Homo-oligomer: A and B are copies of this chain.
Amino acid sequence: MIRFLDAGESHGKALVAIIEGLPSNFYIDIDKINEELGRRQQGYGRGERMKIEKDKVEIWSGIRGNKTTGNPLTLVIYNKDYENWKDFLHREAEKHEKIGIMRPGHGDMVGFYKYKTGDIRDVIERTSARETAIRSAVGAVCKQILEEVDILIRSKVESIEKYQDGKMNLFDEYTYSIIQNSPLRCYNKSIEEVIKKEIDRCKLEGDTLGGSVYISIKGVPIGVGSYTQWDRKLDAILSMGMMSVQAVKAVSFGDGLNTSLKGSEFNDEAYIKQQVIHRKSNHGGGIEAGVSNGENIDITAYIKPIPSVKKEIASVDLIKKQNVTNRYERSDVCAVVPASVVLENVCAFHILAEVMNKFPSDDFIDFKHMIKEYKEKVKKI
């Protein structure tokens, strides 16, 4: 059973997470976590702040010479921008101008009425997608562990605005290297060009763009998750994780959105070849009855356009209680690329958690051995 809590404001001193329940004796590669944080900060369409923050994680507990001890991990990512905000955030909120103008689409209004601190600044600081940096760090630790047991999580941008780059096999190394090198995490160069132009145009117009991300997970053994109770279904759990990421508004497994398929077409036909069960397709996205079936787990997450727009839209000043136009706070034009990275890592946490629910795991060596043994056993019919 692993779990974590994270904390921290967008311009506060640091983002912090505590992870409890990781197996001991796993060597954490901190550079690889930072690599994920770096990937998250890249992408065509990112705004100015990304130049300020070069996220680096520090691990304050739970390891000894980079090897996990079983003790809880503390992850810390300092906010470099904090120095500019320090005085502001440490003074009584009463002592400077409060933000009353809500930005529709953000949590400004709901937070203002829920927590009633009288200043939307307090809401912005936590609802900000900056929080995904620390959540990605948590996931990046899990991703490393998964890799060592041959479970790989990869992603690409499936579409931005109406432009479709589509799904493809992300475990074809050639294909994936193109995607990894693309500033838009796309495969098709022509689509990439069109999207770049669209992003440039939007930037000029003060507008933003959404899109979708395709995540594919390879190597999850048969039998992770359970159908015995609603809250143990792997797709339900993954769905919660992904929908909890800022700006995600829809989640689909396999060909879940393609309702034109009939049952006889949607079902992934099975057959034995050389003692191994194969499937002719993967419309189900690797999950049947809420349990992994050994095929790749394929997910698409839909990202709404960032609500921070320079374009004038109608809004309300909740303090002055009057109609106004929108307030703009520095932001990206398009967050689909970073979302792609964040979602890989968020999935990593949930996949590891559920794999660990199936296999004993105080110690990583045992854990790895047990999974390997199990995979061998279920491989051949």
Contacts and interface: CB of A to CB of B under 8 A. Distances in A.
A222 B112 CA distance: 10
A61 interface: yes
A209 B258 CA distance: 11
A292 B251 CA distance: 19
A305 B262 contact: yes
A155 B305 CA distance: 27
Interface string A209-244: 111100000000011001111110101110111111
Interface in A89-127: 89-95, 102-111, 113-117, 119, 121-123, 125-127
Contacts of A67: 92-93, 117
Nearest to A365: B116
Nearest to A238: B243
Given A211-B259, A362-B115, A240 B231 contact: yes
B289 A127 contact: yes
A244 B243 CA distance: 14
A271 B69 CA distance: 26
A4 B311 CA distance: 41
Contact of A25 (B117, B208, B241, B254): B117
Q: How many copies does the complex hold?
A: 4
A313 B268 CA distance: 9
B249 A71 contact: no
Interface string A1-44: 10111111100111011101100110000000000000000000
Contact of A249 (B125, B202, B254): B254
A207 B7 contact: no
Interface string A246-276: 1001111111110111111111111110000
Contacts of A251: 239, 243, 250-252
A307 interface: yes
Contact of A293 (B110, B229, B304): B110
Contact of A223 (B73, B236, B357, B362): B362
A160 B259 contact: yes
Nearest to A22: B228
A269 B70 contact: no
A290 interface: yes
7 contacts: A70-B117, A107-B227, A114-B222, A207-B263, A208-B263, A239-B240, A250-B256
Q: Which 6 A-B pairs have the closest CB atoms?
A: A107-B289, A249-B256, A208-B263, A250-B252, A65-B92, A250-B256
